[in-house]
Amino acid sequence: MNLYEFEGKRILSDFGIPVPKSEMIYAKDADAPLTYPFVLKAQVLTGGRGKAGGIRVCANEAEFKKNAAEILDMTIKGHRVNGLLCEQMVKAERELYLSITLQGVDRPTLIISEAGGMEIEEVAKTNPDKIIKMEIDPFTGLKDYQLNSLAKLLGYPDVQDLIALIKKVQKAFFDTKALLVEINPLGVVDGKLLAMDSKFVLDDNARNMRNKIEAIEEERKKLANVLAVEKEKTTITFVPLGSGEIGLISDGAGTGMLTLDLIYDGGGKVASFCELGGTTSAEVMYRAMKLTMESGFPIKSILVVLIGGFNRMDDMANGITGYIKDHKLDIPIFTRMCGTMEEEGKRIMAEAGLATYYDLTETVNQCIKASLEVK
Amino acid sequence: MSILIDKDTKVLVQGITGKSGSLQAKIMMEFGTEIVAGVTPGKGGMAVHGIPVYDYIAEAKKDHDFNTVISFVPPAAIKDSSFEAIDAGIRLLVVTTEGIAQNDVVEIIQYARNHNCYVVGPGCAGVIAPGITKVGSHPDRFFKPGRVGVVSKSGALSYEICKTLTDAGIGQSTVASIGGGPIWGFSQKDAVELFEKDPDTDVIVLLGEIGGNQEERAAEYIAKHVKKPVVSLIVGRNAPQGKSLGHAGAIVSGNVGTASTKINALTNAGATVVKNPTELVEKVYSYLNA
């Protein structure tokens, strides 16, 4: 779960990390919550707000009213602005970068740089020697020698302040089982470190954070433009791809991707990709059929690729035939079925008058042919 | 021989009284896996398919010898139960569980490394040495004994490719299905390293997919250390940017983890990269008969 800046800063603050004084504004007619001058910051789950004009200084009431109204109407990189963070103006003497991440790495990794305030990917390209990375042992955390060497490498004068802050960020990261805690810029204001921005990614699988995540979701209802996204409650991954004729369902991510490649290599196109997830039931298969058929794409055929390990083919067959019994199906369905409980699965399919296949390449080719013919 | 598992593999099943643990224990036993005990806290004293169940691994250890654990424990308890398994001094832990918090995965893997234990997974189908033993959920009819070593992130893709190989009369030495990521214990590089040293493997098949840099790391190793032929299939060439297709690790963001990066890295390392199962079988066949 990606957090808005204001949500992330609250967590940082809970862990004793200094953040500027701030209040949230949800509506255009709100009163100024702080004394001038302050900064209005668009709350969106994407970067590049500053360049898009989503961060503005307000010196008086007239500027505040105008800026608040304009920013609340903005869309930044496809994201509608969701409320404003009104933050006390601070002047940073220096801007650093600090993050702890578990994204794209095998171990929690601390990244720190004297070149804060710009995208770290940009610094990595132009000034790679200005980035310091250090892996963190999950059982010990950063050791004292690591922290001391970091402070030396960075050449930051107030070593104690820096180390204390890194320890707090580390505690925030591990206690919340986060995937990313990023503070960029980490400002130096009146000689002290201050988190001027926040990017926080929580792990949806972290059980100790369930209540926190629910509380955040509840509070988000106050935001003007949050779309109520209906969460898929099953293990299914459904990805609309658009502009294709084939609805693809598979009981494995790897075989699903292989089939996707085989379809494109064979001249077909896929409207939607649906993967059932781990050990699944007839109900999950039924749901996959429903999602695929009701995707809104004009699909011409369905391709179901099943190879049962944990999954049972009788359950899968019951899911498919159950859906067809309830909804009828006016397009051809091609089902490759083999593995655990294969014979029983085939029998259930045959009783419903549905063919099954054994060879994947042949099934794919038949399905492509049908999807092109029905036009 | 084989990698990770062999005729001396003795298995304890964690979470043996659950639906999946019980079913897979039965299927593994029918295949010929030597399962000596099961563990589910609170269920000690009962038996599942004749396998004695204990509350704690230490209790099972008093009565039985085992060197391998396969775990079907739910995500909430997986970290502690994995520590318990590793503390028993085993050499291989197979974690089938999906949906584990990533910081927990990191701890499990680090703890295993500190204790010289391999963790295959999490979220994996496990390992099979056809004709010898299996510690996983591979449907054995798609496999047969032979001299091809297979490593795959996806379980289902390993079944699919081995089915095609087996149908063509080509058997496998060991098939390791290591999970969909984004963090892995036993890696593709680890598998390639063991297959290179395994006297009973002649050809290595590496089944990769978009996302992460496992394939690139395996490619680095292949370039430096591998003399055996490596045939590789990378799936997800046509996957959209920025969307995960079922495996949490199978996601392309920017230039990282694309199919073409992986294909180039493997090709440059001397591996033969194929586009589909049919080509894969042709290449493997020609290397076996070269």
From the list B152, B159, B245, the residue facing A256 with the nearest CB is: B245
- CA dihedral (A85, A90, A92, A93) in degrees, to 10, reads 180
* Distant-in-sequence, close-in-space partners of A31: CB < 8 Å, separation ≥ 6: none
Give the confidence band of B115 by pLDDT, cuts at 50, 70, 90: very high
Residues A135 and A214 in one domain: yes
- The CA distance from A206 to B49, in Å, is 34
Residues A204 and A243 in one domain: no
Structural tokens at position B79: 């970290």
Residues A260 and A272 in one domain: yes
> Would you call A241 and B275 a contact, using CB atoms and an 8 Å cutoff?
no
Distances (CA, A) of B184 to B83, B123, B179, B188: 17, 9, 7, 9
Residue given tokens 């690790």 in the structure block: B249
- For residues A28 and B225, the model is more confident at B225
Residues A4 and A120 in one domain: yes
pLDDT digits (tens, 9 = 90+) for B14-58: 999 998 899 999 999 999 999 999 999 999 999 999 999 999 999
Q: Which residues in chain B are closer than 8 Å to A368, comparing Cβ atoms?
A: none
Residues A210 and A347 in one domain: no
Residues B259 and B168 in one domain: yes
Residues B144 and B261 in one domain: yes
Share of chain B above pLDDT 90, in %: 89
The pLDDT score that the predictor gives to residue B241 is 79
Residues B182 and B84 in one domain: no
- The CA distance from A47 to A198, in Å, is 11
Structural tokens at position B34: 């030597």
Residues B157 and B282 in one domain: yes
The pLDDT score that the predictor gives to residue A117 is 84
Cis status, amide bond into A37, omega within 30 of 0: yes
Residues B97 and B190 in one domain: no
Give the confidence band of B246 by pLDDT, cuts at 50, 70, 90: confident
Domain's final residue, options A174, A208, A231: A231
Chain B closest-CA separation from residue A135 CA (Å): 12
The answer to whether A83 and A176 have CB atoms below 8 angstroms apart is no
Closest residue in B to A264 (Cα–Cα): B238
Residues B173 and B110 in one domain: no
How many domains does chain A fold into?
A: 3
Residues B60 and B192 in one domain: no
Which domain covers residue B222, as residue numbers?
138-288
- Whether B132 is covered by a domain: the verdict is no
> Would you call B275 and A265 a contact, using CB atoms and an 8 Å cutoff?
yes
Residues A198 and A254 in one domain: no
- Whether B3 is covered by a domain: the verdict is no
Residues A256 and A286 in one domain: yes
Residues A222 and A285 in one domain: no
Question: Digits of tens for pLDDT over chain A (375 positions)?
Answer: 999 999 999 999 999 999 999 999 998 889 999 999 999 999 999 888 888 999 999 999 999 999 999 999 999 988 888 899 999 999 999 999 999 999 988 999 999 999 898 888 888 888 888 899 999 999 999 999 999 999 888 888 899 999 999 999 999 999 999 999 999 999 999 999 999 999 999 999 999 999 999 999 888 888 866 655 566 778 888 999 877 899 999 998 999 999 999 999 999 999 999 999 867 899 999 999 999 999 888 899 999 999 987 788 999 999 999 999 999 889 999 999 998 889 999 999 999 999 999 999 999 999 999 888 755
Give the confidence band of B138 by pLDDT, cuts at 50, 70, 90: very high
The pLDDT score that the predictor gives to residue A229 is 55
Q: Is the pTM of this model over 0.90?
A: yes
- Whether B2 is covered by a domain: the verdict is no
- Whether B49 is covered by a domain: the verdict is yes
Residues A245 and A134 in one domain: no
Domain's final residue, options A67, A89, A111: A89
B247 a catalytic residue: yes
In chain A, what is the straight-line distance between the N-terminal and C-terminal CA atoms, in Å? 42
Q: Which residues in chain A are closer than 8 Å to B111, comparing Cβ atoms?
A: 139
Q: Return the residue in B104, B163, B234, B238 with the most chain A beta carbons within 10 A, the one to mutate for interface testing.
A: B238
Tell me phi and psi for residue A282, to 5 degrees. Answer: -60, -35
CATH of residue A103:
3.30.470.20
Three-state secondary structure string covering chain A: CECCHHHHHHHHHHCCCCCCCEEEECCCCCCCCCCCCEEEEECCCCCCCCCCCCEEEECCHHHHHHHHHHHHCCEECCEECCCEEEEECCCCCEEEEEEEECCCCCCCEEEEECCCCCCHHHHHHHCHHHEEEEECCCCCCCCHHHHHHHHHHHCCCCHHHHHHHHHHHHHHHHHCCCCEEEEEEEEEECCEEEECCCEEECCCCCHHHHHHHHHHHHHHCCCCCCCCCCCCCCCCEEEECCCCCEEEEECCHHHHHHHHHHHHHCCCCEEEEEECCCCCCHHHHHHHHHHHHCCCCCCCEEEEEEEECCCCHHHHHHHHHHHHHHHCCCCCEEEEEEECCHHHHHHHHHHCCCCEECCHHHHHHHHHHHHHHCC
Domain's final residue, options A89, A104, A125: A89
Structural tokens at position A358: 């054994």
Residue given tokens 């586009």 in the structure block: B275
The whole-chain average pLDDT of chain B stands at 95
* Distant-in-sequence, close-in-space partners of A58: CB < 8 Å, separation ≥ 6: A32, A36, A37, A38, A39, A40, A64, A67, A68
The pLDDT score that the predictor gives to residue B1 is 73
ipTM of the complex: 0.93
Residues B27 and B168 in one domain: no
Chain A closest-CA separation from residue B250 CA (Å): 9
The pLDDT score that the predictor gives to residue B252 is 72
- Whether B215 is covered by a domain: the verdict is yes
- CB of B160 within 8 Å of a chain A CB? The answer is yes
Q: Is the Cα torsion angle B271, B273, B276, B282 positive or negative in sign?
A: negative
Residues A175 and A79 in one domain: no
Q: Return the residue in A135, A140, A203, A205 with the most chain B beta carbons within 10 A, the one to mutate for interface testing.
A: A205
Which domain covers residue A276, as residue numbers?
237-373
CATH of residue A68:
3.30.1490.20
Residues A113 and A227 in one domain: yes
The pLDDT score that the predictor gives to residue B253 is 67
- CA dihedral (A271, B209, B257, B260) in degrees, to 10, reads -80
